[in-house]
């Protein structure tokens, strides 16, 4: 673990709100996160400059975002992003904190964190959530920092990667094995836009997520979804070069009862992120999770042949999802510790 020693002299840190339309400052903000992740995480999944710039300059109706820069002697060395959900979870905010490796252990991170609480409190939030990454069996500066700042651990996710070309030989047998167990369901795939006939089912599944996926001690409430939110998200993705490759499970009456999604950016097409996967209760035990994921891997390979690596995260306690991921060849490379503190 990289663990720079604390330096005896601490500088005066000036925290400023960064206007995302100021490209010079936004670029510096992005670079600080990029440099901090490069020395603290085993794989580079940090967002590209192009997609970050496109995303942060867009007004969103689902999240209010505040960018903070930490300046020492007029140079920005620390960068935070505070996100306030607007449709649900109005009690909480989520922050990411980065300090450039050249200025760590000088209380820049501490100043950013304290400022972020004020930002969120002014929007009537009472809880701050953050994520710290750490090696599978070790601590990390991020984890020690979050603990020092009073965050407590709420949920531990194993972060996993799978190399697609090296594992595609597994897919035929897995799909066959799964198909034998779900004769009453169809597996469907789509890209970027949820087919109109599945939008209602997709919203229901998203609203179930918090209750159905392990959340540990995290103080979160179910999200609220409707067709408008789905369509706004699709428009946003289109503007920021994000593609969603998705597979769903459809029951005999035509209802969407399961979904899995992969996100790939056109600005960083060599890797993607496997985000949520859910099968509704009542439809579990038919290998639908495995069937959807295999179908989605295949579709991704066909549509995005340059995408070679996927990353995902699952709660350690999520036995069903972990079994599916293991069958697909995912291997654990780090941990994500989801943390929270009252503010």
Ligand X SMILES: CC(C)(COP(=O)(O)OP(=O)(O)OC[C@H]1O[C@@H](n2cnc3c(N)ncnc32)[C@H](O)[C@@H]1OP(=O)(O)O)[C@@H](O)C(=O)NCCC(=O)NCCS
Binding site for ligand X (CB under 6 A): 3-4, 6, 36, 40, 97-99, 104-110, 130, 132, 141-142, 144-146, 148
The residue (of 98 and 171) whose beta carbon lies closer to ligand X is: 98
Q: Taking the complex as a whole, how short is the minimal distance between the CB of residue 71 and ligand X, in angstroms? A: 13
Q: Taking the complex as a whole, how short is the minimal distance between the CB of residue 143 and ligand X, in angstroms? A: 7
Q: Taking the complex as a whole, how short is the minimal distance between the CB of residue 165 and ligand X, in angstroms? A: 30
Q: Taking the complex as a whole, how short is the minimal distance between the CB of residue 7 and ligand X, in angstroms? A: 9
The residue (of 52 and 104) whose beta carbon lies closer to ligand X is: 104
The residue (of 4 and 254) whose beta carbon lies closer to ligand X is: 4
Instruction: Return the closest-CA partner of residue 84 out of 133, 146, 126.
Output: 126
The residue (of 4 and 342) whose beta carbon lies closer to ligand X is: 4
Report d(CA 178, CA 53) in Å as an integer: 41
Report d(CA 157, CA 256) in Å as an integer: 27
Distances (CA, A) of 113 to 10, 96, 193, 206, 341: 16, 9, 37, 30, 11
Among the residues of the chain, which ranges form H helices? Answer: 23-38, 49-56, 108-121, 141-148, 164-167, 171-179, 199-212, 227-240, 288-303, 319-328
The residue number with the shortest CB distance to ligand X is: 142
Report d(CA 114, CA 58) in Å as an integer: 26
Report d(CA 262, CA 190) in Å as an integer: 11
The residue (of 144 and 188) whose beta carbon lies closer to ligand X is: 144
Q: Taking the complex as a whole, how short is the minimal distance between the CB of residue 75 and ligand X, in angstroms? A: 14
Q: Are 274 and 312 in contact (CB under 8 A)?
A: yes
Q: Taking the complex as a whole, how short is the minimal distance between the CB of residue 324 and ligand X, in angstroms? A: 28
Q: Are 87 and 103 in contact (CB under 8 A)?
A: no
The residue (of 46 and 49) whose beta carbon lies closer to ligand X is: 46
């Amino acid at each position: 673990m990289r663990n720079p020693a604390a330096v005896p002299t601490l500088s005066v840190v000036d925290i400023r709100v960064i206007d995302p339309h100021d490209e010079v400052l936004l670029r510096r903000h992005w670079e600080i996160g990029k440099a901090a992740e490069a020395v603290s995480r085993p794989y580079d999944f940090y967002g590209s400059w192009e997609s970050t710039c496109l995303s942060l300059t867009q007004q969103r109706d689902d999240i209010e975002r505040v960018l903070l820069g930490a300046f020492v002697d007029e140079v920005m060395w620390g960068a935070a992003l505070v996100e306030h959900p607007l449709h649900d979870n109005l009690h909480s905010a989520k922050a990411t904190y980065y300090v450039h490796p050249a200025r760590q252990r000088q209380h820049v991170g501490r100043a950013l964190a304290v400022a972020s609480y004020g930002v969120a409190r002014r929007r009537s939030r009472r809880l701050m959530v953050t994520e710290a990454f750490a090696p599978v069996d070790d601590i990390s500066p991020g984890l020690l920092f979050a603990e020092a700042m009073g965050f407590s651990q709420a949920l531990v996710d194993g972060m996993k990667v799978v190399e697609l070309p090296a594992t595609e030989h597994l897919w035929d047998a897995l799909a066959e094995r799964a198909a034998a167990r779900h004769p009453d369901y169809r597996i469907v795939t789509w890209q970027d836009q949820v087919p109109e006939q599945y939008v209602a089912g997709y919203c229901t599944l998203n609203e179930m997520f918090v209750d159905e996926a392990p959340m540990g001690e995290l103080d979160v409430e179910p999200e609220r979804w409707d067709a408008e939110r789905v369509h706004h998200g699709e428009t946003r993705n289109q503007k920021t070069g994000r593609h969603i490759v998705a597979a769903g499970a459809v029951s005999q009456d035509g209802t969407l009862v399961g979904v899995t999604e992969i996100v790939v950016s056109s600005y960083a097409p060599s890797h993607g992120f496997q985000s949520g996967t859910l099968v509704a209760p009542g439809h579990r035990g038919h290998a639908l999770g495995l069937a959807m994921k295999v179908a989605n891997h295949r579709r991704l390979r066909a549509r995005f042949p340059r995408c070679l690596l996927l990353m995902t995260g699952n709660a350690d306690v999520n036995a069903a999802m972990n079994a599916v991921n293991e069958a697909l060849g995912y291997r654990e490379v780090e941990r994500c510790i989801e943390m929270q503190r009252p503010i």
